[in-house]
Structure 1
Amino acid sequence: MAFVRTNDIDTYYEQRGVGPPVVFVHAAILAHSQWEHQVNALSDGYTTITYDIRGHGRTGGSEPASYSVELFADDLAALIAALDLEAPVICGLSLGGCIAQVYAATRPDEVAGIVLAETFTPEIFSRREWFQRSVMLRATIPFVRLIGYGRVETAMVWVQERLSRTKAGGDYEKVEQLREDVPKMNTNEFVKVIRAVAAFHKTEVDLAAISVPTLVLYGEHELPFVKQHAAKLKSKIPNAISREVPGAGHASNLDNPVFFEDALRRFLDGVAAEAA
């Protein structure tokens, strides 16, 4: 177990392998273990770093009354500096992808490439999306205080499917098992994290400032608004490509790890070759 001091918190991280550095940033209410399959697949040729975002896992909570994606990006910058990583590739999923966008847009010279999986930009395209991304997330808070996150998430998936008029794919049992295997999140920390995600639309991110190679991944069965954002990321980031992950939902790295890792390795090999 390893901890490093970053922005007045002790951040839990794991580092494996030898080679160009890749930092993995997990989704909200999960932990570094979300990336175990990818770490096992890639650490033969890359230095892989996984960590628990502020409020999550072994890193745990902190004093600020509120969090933001910008704060999480500053924490990531502090982690990269503390570990003396030179121009890593940042791979983020969902909230992790939001953090990667902010990091790469504000520090374009400090990153070699980014991978944005199942994520979204600050822009909100419709009233339906506004309800899904902001209103509905905030509405979960009192229910989580009463009955816990797991049962609320099941209800949220059901509502999201009906709002989107589509069946959300993905293996939620894998996600739930990951949550069972990490320290339980404090309810107050859950509230701060969810409010940060729900407020991401207020963040200014200049996608055109992301000049490094970018891979955008989205699940075949992802919700429609997330697919819309994948298309926007591809069109607005100058050096971006996108891939649909067959048979996957919102956790594409868990739903189809073989395809995800193949796409990721091809991208990383390309970035490494360009830097050589």
Structure 2
Amino acid sequence: MAVVQNQGVEIFFEDSGAGPPVVLGHSFLCSGMMWREQVAALGARFRVINPDLRGHGRSGHVTRPFSLYDALSDVIAVLDQLSIERATWCGLSIGGMVALRAALTRPDRVAGLILLDTDAGPETGLRKLKFRAMGAGAGVVGLRPFVPSIARLMFGATTRRQNPTLVSEWKRQFASLHVPSVLRCLEALMRRDSLLGRLDQIGVPALVLVGEEDRSLPPPLSRRIHDRLRHSTFGMIPAAGHLSPLERPAPVTEAILGFLTAHAN
């Protein structure tokens, strides 16, 4: 078990494979296990760093407010411990938001970007109301009553219909999350700043992927990131929702490997 301490929080990570480094960033409510198919495929040719976001997976719980920039500092602390100066950052949802902030505030640490099912804008007012109401309820009764709604946001209709075993596996994980940590992370997402006016400052190559059935952060949000980046390739993952690496691992892995082969060296 590899850990690093940052801002009083223990950050768990896995370090596997050999080659140009790639650092992964998972979705809100998930863990590094979300990338299990990609880690297995990438490890033959790349060094894969796979941390758990603070408050998620095997990382430490959080009870104090934090920002996406604090989450970024967690990843930098992991890279520092491993003496990795630059890496390709591959992030989904909140992981992609952290990766974008790395490219803007720590460009010396970013060799390229792979952004999946994410957003560069601020949270909208209606969604803030919806998610804060859900958070208030979870603070009283726990996450279990909200798990069916969470699963509908996370998994596309095709996956829910064709792969109920996968959905059930992650429902159990959603229900087991540490509620105070989830609420602190949710608040960090709700308070995030907009990066839309700064995306043209990012000079590294980027790959932007999104599941065509993503209801949480729908495809137009990924498309506008692609449109504002200077060196971006865009791809739609068919029959996938928000968690495209889990729902359609083969096309996601193929796209990531293709990008890394072209740019990571």
TM over 0.5: yes
Residue 252 of structure 2: aligned partner:
260
| 2:126 aligned with 1:135 | no
Residue 145 of structure 2: aligned partner:
151
1:203-227 Cα offsets, whole Å, 9 max, x none, are 5562122211111000121238521
**Count, aligned residues:** 260
Q: Distance in 2 between matches of 1:255 and 1:77?
A: 29
Unaligned runs of 5+ in 2: none
Cα offset, 1:57, TM superposition = 1.6
1:77-116 Cα offsets, whole Å, 9 max, x none, are 1211121113111111111111111111111222111111
| 2:3 aligned with 1:3 | yes
Cα offset, 1:52, TM superposition = 0.9
Task: Give the SS at the match of 1:122.
Answer: coil
1:233 to 221, 225, 228: 225
Cα offset, 1:130, TM superposition = 3.4
Q: Distance in 1 between matches of 2:234 and 2:10?
A: 35
**Any residues of structure 2 matched to 1:212-251 within 5 Å, and which?**
212-223=204-215, 226-251=218-243
Cα offset, 1:150, TM superposition = 4.1
Percent identical among aligned pairs is 28
**Any residues of structure 2 matched to 1:8-27 within 5 Å, and which?**
8-27=8-27
Cα offset, 1:174, TM superposition = 2.6
Residue 92 of structure 1: aligned partner:
91
**Any residues of structure 2 matched to 1:48-127 within 5 Å, and which?**
48-62=48-62, 65-123=64-122
* TM norm structure 2: 0.89
2:169 to 177, 185, 198: 177
1:221-262 Cα offsets, whole Å, 9 max, x none, are 123852111111111111111100011111100111000000
Residue 181 of structure 2: aligned partner:
189
Q: Distance in 1 between matches of 2:185 and 2:158?
A: 24
Q: Which amino acid aligns with 2:87?
A: P
Unaligned runs of 5+ in 1: 162-166
Q: Which amino acid aligns with 1:54?
A: R
1:178-221 Cα offsets, whole Å, 9 max, x none, are 46469943221111011111222x35562122211111000121
Cα offset, 1:58, TM superposition = 1.3
Task: Check conservation: 2:209, 2:234, Cα contact below 8 A.
Answer: yes
Q: Which amino acid aligns with 1:130?
A: G
Q: Distance in 2 between matches of 1:168 and 1:47?
A: 34
RMSD: 2.5
Q: Which amino acid aligns with 1:226?
A: P
